[in-house]
């Protein structure tokens, strides 16, 4: 798995790292919006020969014995589906939201953000 910290080529980092747009603080059991986008600053190619195949989202709940929890999977076809997804979720405890994105050429990429639940 690659993250923006382990890749020296910043042009690849910008195109492959899944960016997570989510409030840093949410209310317990209240729905909130999550957007995950691959290639936020520099668009990722969306060609048959080079594209984002899927995005998966997990939540690592604070204090839970078995983590992470699978939240969502989004499969994408090349040329038509852009690598940006939005969905609504809710949490009962604080934790870390993890996004994985799979590029058919450059492999698996990961990013994560902390979510405070009040």
The pLDDT value given to residue 11: 46
Res 4: pLDDT: 64
pTM of the model: 0.89
Confirm whether 103 is a catalytic residue. Answer: yes
44 is catalytic: yes
Of the residues 50, 60, 62, 96, only one is catalytic, namely 50
Q: Which of 93, 82, 100 is nearest to 118 (CA)?
A: 93
> Prior bond to 87 cis, omega within 30?
no
Look up 14 and say whether it is catalytic: yes
pLDDT in the model for residue 55: 98
Examine the residue annotation and report whether 51 is marked as an active-site residue of this protein: no
70 is catalytic: no
Task: State the 10-residue block means of pLDDT for the chain, 118 residues long.
Answer: 56 76 96 96 92 98 96 96 97 97 95 96
Q: Which of 51, 61, 84, 103 is catalytic?
A: 103
Position 6 scores a pLDDT of 45
3-state SS, 40-93, equals: CCCCCCCECCECEEEEEEEEEECCCCCCCEEEEEEECCCCCCCCEEEEEECCCC
């Amino acid at each position: 798995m690659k993250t923006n910290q382990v890749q020296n080529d910043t042009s690849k980092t910008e195109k492959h790292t899944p960016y997570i747009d989510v409030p840093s603080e949410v209310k317990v059991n209240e729905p909130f919006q999550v957007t995950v986008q691959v290639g936020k600053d520099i668009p990722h190619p969306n060609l048959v020969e080079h594209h984002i195949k899927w995005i998966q989202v997990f939540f690592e709940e604070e204090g839970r014995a078995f983590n992470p929890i699978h939240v969502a999977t989004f499969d994408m076809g090349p040329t038509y589906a852009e690598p940006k997804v939005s969905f609504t979720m809710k949490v009962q405890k604080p934790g870390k939201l993890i996004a994985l994105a799979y590029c058919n050429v450059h492999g698996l990429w990961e990013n994560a953000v902390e979510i405070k639940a009040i």
